[in-house]
Amino acid sequence: MDSASGVLLIFLFTSATSLLNAHEIDEDNFNVMDYGATSDDLTDDSQAFLEAWDDACSASVESSRVYVPAEKTFVVDPITFHGPCYASTINFAKQCTTLAPTALKFVSCNESSVSNMKFTNSAQTHILVRGCNSFSIDNVMIESPGNSPNTDGIHIQSSQHVLITNSRIATGDDCVSIGDHTSNIEIENVECGPGHGISIGSLGRGGNYVQVQNILVTDAFFNGTTNGARIKTWQVGRGYVRDVTFQNLLFNHVQNPIIIDQNYCNVRNACKEQETGVQISNVNYKEVLGTSTTDIAININCSRSVPCFGISMESIQLLSAEVGKQVTANCSNAYGEEVDVVPGPCLLD
């Protein structure tokens, strides 16, 4: 990345670390300006950031803070902030409103959190959570154009017990994407749009054994997205996606409100049918309302070789965004039960 183009912050923590508001705790402060940062929009301030971090990390205190003045702008190259740190809590008070372009990575973080941040126009994924356990994201705003490729809002990979709450995400890709080797993920009170919805996957592209379970998406609003609640897996994959719940969802002008695609392909209908597949089971949809901009509002496209089972739909009403037009439900090789579902029914008993 060119140093004049923006900031890449890569957090690699092995100790319990939290990113908190600047005024929540009393701390020893390490101001980047004291380490030679110039904030002249020209000079590379990367070394000042690194030196401030190193001192905050090694400080013999319970909590410390790297302080970046809110009224200033800094040019920073890609930075890796390493742990473990002596301080059990490090507050990185950037107090910023835009990071453009940026990828904020949390790798191997335990008992950690990020809150009250805004990201604008990232060149790629905005927030990556990988290899983390007990990680929370709250009150985060992400804004990128709907036509910006590969700008996932939040991507979760190889992590457990991740909580995303009270956030607003507008991107050119998935608002939240859930990758492989994840479990106990909860997404609550999130507004998505524009974007590609909240997606589990894609999974199994390399023929690997997929392990995804215990996913809850609740109280979410999808506004003008290409997809809503989506699960997508490649035929060559193996393993499982199970125990997933989508509930209390509201869709406004969404192209594919409810979609499972067990035959996902980078070019539609270009992948030959396989005898393998990722087993999708025990997926629940409950209390879902809204409008679809396509004819098929519910599309459950499962494999003939490894069909979906345990699909449950209850209290769903999806109408066409075009007044007077009807929408349909399409289910292939999907077994389960439906109660009070419009359009429907389509699941096999």
Judge whether 233 and 262 are in contact, CB under 8 Å. yes
The arrangement of strands across the sheet holding 176-178 comes to 79-82, 9-12, 104-107, 127-130, 154-157, 176-178, 198-203, 227-234, 256-264, 296-301, 328-332
SS3 content of the chain, % helix, strand, coil (to 5): 5, 55, 40
CB atoms inside a 10 Å sphere around CB 184: 16
**Between vectors from CA 228 to CA 222 and to CA 229, what angle results, nearest 5°?**
125
Number of H helices, E strands in the chain: 1, 23
Closest Cα to residue 54, out of 19, 85, 95, 91? 85
253 is catalytic: no
Separation in Å, CA 172 to CA 44, 151, 210, 234: 30, 6, 26, 22
Catalytic-labelled residue, pool 126, 155, 181, 196? 196
Spatial neighbors of 291 by CB under 8 A, at least 6 apart, are 251, 252, 253, 254, 318, 319, 320, 321
Closest Cα to residue 155, out of 188, 182, 123? 182
Judge whether 260 and 287 are in contact, CB under 8 Å. no
Q: From its phi and psi, is residue 15 left (phi > 0), alpha (psi between -120 and 50) or beta?
A: beta
DSSP string computed for 165-195: EEEEEE-SS-SEEE-SSEEEEEEEEEEE-SS
Q: From CA 255, how far away is CA 258, in angstroms rounded?
A: 9
Identify the DSSP state of 273: P
Active-site residue set: 196
